[in-house]
Amino acid sequence: LWISFWLGSLIPIRKNRVTFVTRKNVPISGNLRIVADALADHGGYEIGVFKDGSVPDSTVQALQAKGIVVFAGFSFAALCFILSSRTIFLSHSARDAFLTHRRSGRRVINLWHGVALKRIELMMKPFADIVKYEARKKLIEKNARIYDAMIASSPVDRLVNSCAFGVSFDRVHVTGLPRFDYLDPSCSLPSDLDDQQKKLDSILHGRHLILYAPTFRESGRSVFHYMDDECLKGLRSLCERGGLVFGIRPHPYDMSSLERICDGLHIVNLGSMVFPEPALLLNRTKVLVVDYSSIWVDYLIHKRPILGFVPDLENYTEHERGFIYSHETIFPGPVKKSWGEMISEIEIQFARNFELPNLQHHSTTSAWLLPPVNENQSCTDACIKLFFRD
């Protein structure tokens, strides 16, 4: 970081240069990807994408085809490109772009990658290691001084992001999450995502997709240990009877091996290494099974069943992240604590042809967490117009 601090005062800023930065273990996807593509289509900007890690060749080729420079892994050239950019977009943190301070003529915009349901950043509970907790808190507050703007999904989410990141309320903008646009059937996909969609359709082969997308645990313990042999037997039987595929999308922070669980036919691994863009999966999903991940907020748009598998709800509430909202109040579907109960619930949803019996709870949650409807403007367009008025 000291190199970044030193170079940052020497390298001149280029007005039309824009860099999009994601985290080392996170794909170039979601808000970051769709805004980068849209800005390239808009024209007039020199655009770079940086990830301090490997990037799939198909993603590199698709971005390069639009004139976007891709930096896969740290290099002096990547650092210079970032530090000379007039605008830097982040998916997570200023640290991912090696930024240590504000600089005149530069703006840093956090396209935060989700909707906070569990406690994040400054809203997290104090750690047992209070020294580590205070150090992290100071880093978050330091980053807050670097951000010129953030986005939010809804007016309620705007307040949460302001509190969680310590960013002034007037710097948080309700644009909706640009990644929501991938859920629109009329959305035109770039070549690599179109290929991924076709690959998914080939795996499904006309069958219905049940997607299980759990989040990580601070303790490091994987939620997949709940999937014992009896659970797997029940899921395979369900898939055979109903013409279903049970897809598993682990969180990038969960490094558990799925070889014991996935058979490649009825239970398949749909992780981010294979399918970087989760919206492609949501577009084919008939029932979404989650625990505490905010991916279900995106899925509200499709108005299909959302089921909660929360075998460790009490422990998560008391000893893990815990929640910003009351989980019981805001979650829009049935909640189960065993795989036996969950399999029975999926069978009920299948019998209903995956249609919601009552939209009231679903609609109420959508009103809290989704952006106000604007038929004349997509979430991506809202970001482009807000940050590139000139």
Kindly tell me if the per-residue pLDDT of 242 is higher than 90: yes
Kindly tell me if the per-residue pLDDT of 3 is higher than 80: no
Between CA 223 and CA 313 the distance in angstroms is 12
Between CA 305 and CA 289 the distance in angstroms is 9
Average pLDDT of the residues in 283-293: 97
Alpha helices in 172-303 (DSSP H): 191-204, 229-242, 278-282, 295-299
Per-residue pLDDT band for 2 (boundaries 50, 70, 90) equals low
Structure-block tokens of residue 50:
């940086």
Percent of the chain with pLDDT over 70: 98
How much is the mean pLDDT over the chain? 93
Which carries the bigger pLDDT value, residue 7 or residue 228? 228
Q: Which of left, alpha, beta for 374 (phi over 0: left; psi -120 to 50: alpha)?
A: beta
Kindly tell me if the per-residue pLDDT of 1 is higher than 70: no
Between CA 208 and CA 132 the distance in angstroms is 46
Percent of the chain with pLDDT over 90: 84
Per-residue pLDDT band for 6 (boundaries 50, 70, 90) equals low
Average pLDDT of the residues in 97-114: 94
- Burial (CB count <10 Å: 0-12, 13-18, 19+), residue 76: exposed
Per-residue pLDDT band for 154 (boundaries 50, 70, 90) equals very high
Q: Give the predicted TM-score (pTM) of the model.
A: 0.93
Per-residue pLDDT band for 5 (boundaries 50, 70, 90) equals low
Cα-Cα-Cα-Cα dihedral sign, residues 273, 118, 315, 295: negative
Q: Does an H or E element contain 137, and which?
A: helix 130-146
- Cα end-to-end distance, the chain, whole Å: 32
Per-residue pLDDT band for 376 (boundaries 50, 70, 90) equals confident
Per-residue pLDDT band for 215 (boundaries 50, 70, 90) equals very high
